[in-house]
Structure formats: structure tokens, C-alpha cells
Amino acid sequence: MRRSTTSAGTERPFLGILLLVELIVAVALLARPAATVAPHAPPPVASSTPAPTSQTLVLRDGRTATLIPLGGVRSAGLTARIAAELDSAAEAVTAFWGDGWRRDVVIVAAGTDEEFSAMGGGGSDIAAATTPARIVFAPGAAAMSEEALRIVVRHELFHYAARADTAADAPRWLTEGVADFVGRPSQARPGPARAADLARLPTDADLDTAGATRSLAYDRAWWFSRFVADRYGTPTLRRLYLAACRPGHPDVATAVQDTLGADLPQVVASWRQWLSG
């Protein structure tokens, strides 16, 4: 399962409306007065596991986060784990992006792959997706380790924070690489044996190819983002993101030239040397 992705926000409206109707009906049923029980009827048995409900948290930075488990107890366990990561995730995003991003965060833990696809636009091989309205976690995310879940929460929260400044046709490999830069912990450079293989800019098509091609594309995008931050400074990586990904952005080569002051082949050559470490 790929850790996460970002979605352009195209949802299946009918299924989305159906899910909303189901939630409204459930709330209405809970609000109805209890029916009168005939004297001869046995009393109803109280459930020992009440249906999980949504919760809204106030984070340390004052933002609110609403977590909605749609898949019963299993989803409630996932949202509880996500909630425990949100303060540090918001701090990591703000440290990179600045504080000027949305004050409300909506996170949904889907109960089925169909719900995940309808609400997040993601496939069954990924753990989470972000739309303009929400971050959606797939049912399979419940099986992730604490470290992997921490990376996904930070990665997706960055996508959520950067939405307003990210064009629909932004180079996805760069948006994913920067999101991984925010989410993934640093590690030692790979060295000469892998430098030539890693120092190649991935394509958006690579991100859509399941398996080793996709995994390598994410690694290349991440290492490129790490290189820019290390060589030019983290604020410059943010400027590159805005230059290459904002609405009305130029091509990547122009954004690199304007931001880093070198043409793209020169930057890639320097990246390869940096990877060799």
C-alpha cells in the first residue's frame, strides 16, 4: 500500500450524497424518543460498544480538527491515533509553510474502500488522500505502524495547508516531494552507488504506476526536495514550490532558473554530486 497521495478533488457525487444521507438518518434515529415497550416484551439489551461519533479537537496552535470515523470501532481507533499526531504535525507544517493556512481541519476515516474512493478519490493501494474539503484515510491505514502513520499525517496535512496556493495542473512530483520533505524524517545520503539512479527527476506518470516505479518516483522527488533545502535553504524550497506550483505557474525549468539561479541540468548535476555525499 502506497502511503498517501493528493487528489484533485473530483468525487463521485451520488455516493458522497448517499453517505451524507446515511449520516443524517443515523443522527435522526438517535434523536428519536425511545419507543414504548410492551409489558410482556423483554427489555432491550444495551450495547457495550456504542457507535463511535465524530470529535472536534482544539490543537495547540488554536486550529480545530474534526475527526469523523465512518467505519465503526476500527475507524475510531484510527482517528484516535491520528488525533495523537496532529499537534506535532501542525507544528511541522507551520515550520515549513508558515502560519497562514486554514484554521479548520477535517479528517475522515473511511469504513470501506468505496467510501474512500468516493470521498477522497484514492484507490485501494494508497493509505490517504487530500481534497480541498478534507483529508481522507483508507481502511487499510489502520494497519500502519506508528512511524508510517506519523509520516502520512504530516504529508497529508501539508497538502491540506498548501491547497489554496497549489494549481490543479501543478507538477505532482514536486508537490509530493515537498510533502514528503515535511513528513519524512531525514536519513543519510545514499552514496555514489545509487546517486546516478536517484538523481533523475520523476514524472507525474511515474507516480501513477503501481509498484517499484511509483516508490522510486516518490524517493526521487523527496531526495530532490531535500537537496534543494540543504543546498539553498528551506525557505528557498518553499519559494520553489510556489514558483512551480502556484496558479499560473511556469514550467519547472523556468521556476528552477528563477528560484535557484541555475538552469535545470546544472541543478540536477549538483544534486547527483550531493547524493554521492
Per residue in 85-138, pLDDT (tens digit) is 999 999 999 999 999 999 999 999 999 999 999 999 877 789 999 999 999 999
Q: Give the pLDDT confidence score for residue 6 in this predicted structure.
A: 54
| Residue ranges per structural domain of the chain | 49-165, 172-276
| Predicted local distance difference test score (pLDDT) of residue 246 | 98
pLDDT score at 9: 38
- What residues form DSSP beta bridges with 136? 108, 129
Q: Kindly report the pTM of this predicted structure.
A: 0.83
pLDDT of res. 179 = 98
DSSP E strand stretches across 35-152: 55-58, 64-69, 104-109, 128-130, 135-137
Cβ 236 vs Cβ 228: under 8 Å:
yes
Residue 256's closest CA among 243, 269, 246?
243
Residue-level pLDDT at 125? 83
Q: Identify the segments of the chain with pLDDT beneath 70.
A: 1-52
Query: Cell 484533485, residue?
Result: 8
Closest by CA to 147, choosing from 174, 102, 96, 187, is 187
> What's residue 28's pLDDT?
29
**CATH code for 49-165?**
1.10.390.10
Beta strands in the chain (DSSP E): 55-58, 64-69, 104-109, 128-130, 135-137
Indicate the helix (H) or strand (E) that contains 118: helix 113-120
Q: Which of 230, 216, 145 is CA-nearest to residue 186? A: 230
